[in-house]
Chain A
Amino acid sequence: MLISAPALYAILLLAVPLGAIFLFSFWTQDYLTLITTPTLANYQEAWNEPLYGLLLRRSLMISGAVTVATVLLAFPIAYFVSFHVRPERKSLWLFLITIPFWTSYLIRVFLWKVILGYNGVLNSGLSGLGLIDEPLTFILYNANAVVITLAHAFAPFAILPIFVALERIDRSLLEAGRDLGETKLMTFWRVTLPLAMPGVVAAVLIVFIPTIGDYVTPRLVGGPNGLMIANMIQTQFLKLNNAPMGAALAVVAMLFVSVIALGFVWLNRKFLRVKQ
């Protein structure tokens, strides 16, 4: 069977390793020796050590903020391309939107540091225009910088699913809404938006879940108060050489993300059903 090759590959290189991480999180490490007696010690430490809780809460907050910012900024773009761009120009717009996303991720993140910095492009530009006297300092080496940079990095991930959902909307429904006496705004609110919701939900998930695992952006632009749980997971694995603790933190982070994501999907379903 054709499917067996990719399926086997996904099982061996994805399902098995994920299982291994889960198993590992119940083990402990004493310098170089791995102790394979199952224990909840790592989870207890994750619960008791305030730093882990702080990093996890902050990561969820930052990822949440990134998601809200990205999706809110992306929706008008997807709407514009779907409803206001001539059909033959649509793929050009989508192409233009996706190009920055494919180009050198590390250097892009680094350049945000250049843009947002004390003597950066933004500050020198604004003071050159006479809009500010003192350089803005709230935009680098903190959570704001992480949110701006990640909102930039994940933009196409939010735009494309919303665009696809908007494209599927039967345009005659909108005309029907207008014919029945709804204003433009009410038609958008009662017809377009509910029908676009599947795209919005997909956009939220595809932005929220991966951003929690980014350690590059927090490291480069986040400063000490912008570090996230992924930085700690990376440190546990590569610097502290405590793979079981890192595994436990990864499991906890994934658990929280999954619960929040599922909760969001559930709330959205409930909300839409009520509307109908």
Chain B
Amino acid sequence: MSLRVYAIAYLIFLYLPIFLLPLFAFNDSTIIAFPLDSLTFRWFYELWETPALHAAVQNSIFIAVLTAIFSTLLGICAARAAAKYEFPLKRPIMGLIMVPLVLPEIIVGVSLLVVVVQLLEWQLSTWTVVGAHVLICTPFSIAILNGAFQNMDTSLEEAAQDLGETPFSTFRLVTLPLVMPGIISSLLISFTISLDEFIIAFFLTGADPTMPVYIWGLLRFPQKLPAVMALGTILVLLSIILLTIAEYYRRRGLARAGLKDKGGFL
């Protein structure tokens, strides 16, 4: 019983910042503190009137969409290879691909910065951010897709091939539908990670800032903070919606594979 009380207290600790966000977003005061003032929508209106923010959001969405697609494609290759084939150096190769999961993000950021700017002498751009985000999102994609691929009944594929399908059409008609929920879940999670990622983007972003880089700039100006709270409220809502959809597909994938839910994305 006391454990349940602790668990609820812990959830309150986890959700404390998120609960505060809408309070300040609708609060008619430029100071982010209690007591609250009257209700207002003007901070949301201010967001609507800020073209620089719109450019940053568009840039971030562009990066997040590309990241989601590329990291999921790489994730499919790796999860499929890991589940189906044995190859030399399997463990070290898979290990290397999964390293970004534990590597401090600043290391990824500065090492790519050195290569791009100092060694290759390229310009930083949206693409450098995409490259880095794909690197850090691929392990998450693999973790999600591993479940889908490893639990697939391989006799289904064999049956399709016995019935005259080519390897490619087998993949398209049998394998892909079975792992589709995992793929959708992976796309959504990669999208969410990329959209929110700041530490690496700060090093690698070019002339057009991403949304978190733009928010970082705003945090220095006290009069901009209520608008940041409004933006945060929208982002929290958006990511809860995306994650709920991702969770729904993850569970459906497990149900399709006939498995019990062990829970969790990681």
Report A-chain residues with C-beta under 8 Å of the C-beta of B90. 3
Instruction: Give the residue of B35, B107, B265 whose beta carbon is less than 8 angstroms from that of A21.
Output: B107
Q: Does A136 contact B (CB under 8 A)?
A: no
Q: Is the CB of B10 within 8 A of A20?
A: no
Is B33 part of the binding interface, using a Cβ–Cβ cutoff of 8 Å? yes
Q: Does A206 contact B (CB under 8 A)?
A: yes
Interface of A is mostly: helix
* Inter-chain contact B15/A5, CB cutoff 8 Å: no
- Complex CA gap A166/B240 in Å reads 27
CB-CB < 8 A to A9: which residues of B?
A: 74, 97, 134-135, 138
Q: Is there contact, CB below 8 Å, between B264 and A164?
A: yes
B119 surroundings in chain A (CB, below 8 A): 20
Q: Is A76 an interface residue (CB 8 A)?
A: yes
B104 to A210, Cβ gap below 8 A? yes
Tell me if B102 and A210 are in contact (CB < 8 A).
yes
B48 at the interface (CB under 8 A from A): no
A117 to B142, CA, bound (A): 40
**B16–A167 contact, CB under 8 A?**
no
Contact A209 B102 (CB under 8 A): yes
Per-residue contact bits, chain A 77-105, to B (CB 8 Å; 1 contact, 0 not)? 10111001001001101111111101111
> Is B245 at the interface (CB under 8 A from chain A)?
no
Q: Do B17 and A254 touch (CB < 8 A)?
A: no
A residues less than 8 Å from B96 (CB atoms): 7, 10-11, 14-15
A163→B106 CA distance, assembly (Å): 28
Contact status A7-B93, CB under 8 Å:
yes
79-108 of chain B: CB within 8 A of chain A: 80-82, 85, 87, 90, 93, 96-97, 99-108
Are B20 and A114 touching (Cβ within 8 A)?
Answer: yes
Residues A105 and B198 in contact in the complex (CB < 8 Å), given A160-B264, A160-B266: yes
Measured CB to CB, the nearest residue on chain A to B254 is: A91
A50 CA to B118 CA, complexed, in Å:
28
CA distance A15 to B93 in the complex (A): 11
Contact call A21/B243, Cβ cutoff below 8 A: no
Stretch at the interface among B50-58, B61-69, B109-117, B150-158: B109-117
Pick out which of these stretches binds chain B: A38-46, A175-183, A186-194, A214-222.
Answer: A214-222
Most A CB within 10 A of own CB, among B196, B197, B228: B196
The interface centre, meaning the residue of B35, B107, B135 with most chain A CB atoms within 10 A of its CB, is B107
The CA-CA distance from A157 to B104 in the complex, in Å, is 14
Is B18 positioned at the interface, with any CB of A under 8 Å from its CB? yes
The reply to whether B198 and A2 form a contact with Cβ atoms under 8 Å apart is no
The number of chain B residues touching the other chain, given as a range, is 35 or more
Question: How many pairs of residues, A versus B, come closer than 8 Å at their CB atoms?
Answer: 244
**In the complex, are the beta carbons of B34 and A34 less than 8 A apart?**
no
Contact A102 B235 (CB under 8 A): no
Residues of A within 8 A of B108 (CB): 14, 17
Contact of A80 (CB < 8 Å), options: B3, B235, B251: B3
Q: A237 to B200, alpha carbons, bound, how many Å?
A: 13
In the complex the two chains form, is B77's CB within 8 Å of A3's CB?
Answer: yes
Task: State A112–B138 Cα separation when bound (angstroms).
Answer: 30
On whether the beta carbons of B10 and A77 are closer than 8 Å, the reply is: yes
CB distance from B238 to the nearest CB of A (A): 9
A119 and B3 CA atoms in complex are apart in Å by: 32
Q: Do A210 and B105 touch across chains, with their CB atoms under 8 A apart?
A: yes
Contact between chains at B114 and A17 (CB < 8 Å): yes
B239 at the interface (CB under 8 A from A): yes
B110 touches A237 (CB 8 A): yes
- Assuming the A-B contacts A90-B261, A91-B264, A106-B219, are A213 and B104 also in contact, with contact meaning beta carbons closer than 8 angstroms in the complex? yes
Question: Is the pair B232, A104 in contact by a Cβ cutoff of 8 Å?
Answer: yes
Q: A1-B81, A3-B78, A6-B74 are in contact. Are A247 and B110 (CB under 8 A)?
A: yes
Q: Does A108 contact B (CB under 8 A)?
A: yes
B212 at the interface (CB under 8 A from A): yes
Once the chains bind, are A98 and B13 in contact (CB under 8 Å)?
no
- Enumerate 22 A-B pairs (CB-CB under 8 Å) in ascending A order: A3-B87, A9-B134, A10-B97, A10-B138, A13-B135, A91-B264, A99-B243, A103-B239, A103-B240, A104-B239, A107-B228, A115-B16, A115-B20, A120-B33, A155-B10, A155-B14, A156-B266, A157-B266, A164-B262, A209-B102, A212-B104, A214-B106
Given contacts A7-B96, A18-B111, A115-B17, 5 further A-B contacts (CB under 8 A): A6-B74, A77-B6, A77-B7, A120-B33, A216-B198
